[in-house]
Copies of this chain bind each other. A is one copy, B any other.
Amino acid sequence: MLSDIPSETPPPDLAALAEDHYFNANPPPKDLDKHIKLAKEFIDFHAAAGRRLVLVTSGGTTVPLDAEKQTVRFIDNFSAGTRGATSAEYFLEAGYAVLFLHRQFSLLPFSRHYTHATDCFLDFLQEGPNNSVVARDEYAAKMLGVLRKYRDARDRNMLLVLPFVSISDYLHELRAIAHLMQPLGPRGLLYLAAAVSDFFIPPDRMAEHKIQSTDAVDSVKKNSNDGRGVRTPSVEEEETFDNFDSSPAVPRSKRLVIDLDPVPKFLKNLVEGWSPQGMIVSFKLETDPSILVRKAKYSLDRYQHHLVIGNLLSTRKWEVVFVSPGSKDRWIRVPFNKNGPDGAPLDTEKDEPLDPKSLPEGDPPIEIESLIIPAVQELHTKYIQSYGEKKEQA
């Protein structure tokens, strides 16, 4: 099926060249050195203890459309960070140390139960005796459970949380952390749940100021964005244009055209160079059920890593598919019964995506990450074992 797709690897020096080019052209986030220091301490601590450690990436990355320090507009990938934040909790439960690399302000493990709720988090609190602030009675039991798990993870130094914002922040952090994880050998796991942008504007093509959309300034300031990533309208036809003339008759010159380059795919660099011993899990999020598995397989074939978890936007809380080398695709599903306790159970063993219409309304009764993480852990155990065997053979 995939045999007609060319899968030759570019010569290694070309990949290295592309890497050098990207990382030189896109400056690192300002906190990178601080993060590296924190990550190194955390990783070395757990490597010394012989513990498994997972890097969980989470949330979407942004593509700034304006110059670095004055970003007021960007392209974003939708991701509240639910998959990553939830997975992190179950990894902790499974005994992993968790380095949680997440988009700033996306969901965090534990606090996720309160922060992105429709309610304001203050609604969970009330005034207690002696000028204290306490959890409201009806929330106290759950909040205590969450708080205890959180404090336990912190107190035992099992959780390190680091933020990023842009795609280039993310790639700089990922590369640095993957390198730092090398002392973990095969006990290092990279669980790449962040929604990474596919396209970006190279910095040398970015406009210096906020994109001007109205006409006030055009008349006093000539626009000269030629050849940049973002082109704004010329000042011609100023008099005839009015913003009330929406489509279909908007003059071509009043449109905004954004011209983006593909983000280099560094997964191969990650697999071959940054983390040659760690187990690497990537995600494929699609909207079209007919291409999901094919795209997951293609990704695995191309990057030669260890597991692709495929999921569809509409059913991602109910099912995912594990695609890994040399194994049959494995669908993992939250058990459900649309018609309640009395109805006939639907077939959750199906070997292809479920019809979203066949699912019950609302959220699943359990978090699917409670099934995903033990399944990943099992594969990771096999990976560590086979790694030891390979080493013995060599």
Contact = CB atoms under 8 A, between A and B. Distances in A.
A316 to B, nearest CB: 11
A15 interface: yes
A213 interface: yes
B76 A246 contact: no
Interface residues of A, number: 108
Contacts of A294: 216-217, 220
A358 B75 CA distance: 33
Contacts of A389: none
A207 B314 CA distance: 17
Query: How many copies, total?
Result: 2
Contacts of A243: 262-265
A288 B134 contact: no
Contacts of A48: none
Nearest to A116: B105
Contacts of A286: 210
A147 to B, nearest CB: 6
A298 interface: yes
A255 B250 contact: no
B313 A72 contact: yes
Contact of A120 (B80, B150, B221): B150
A121 B117 CA distance: 13
Interface string A143-156: 11011101100000
A133 B147 contact: yes
B74 A291 contact: no
Interface string A135-176: 100001101101110110000000001010000000000000
Contact of A62 (B76, B116, B213): B76
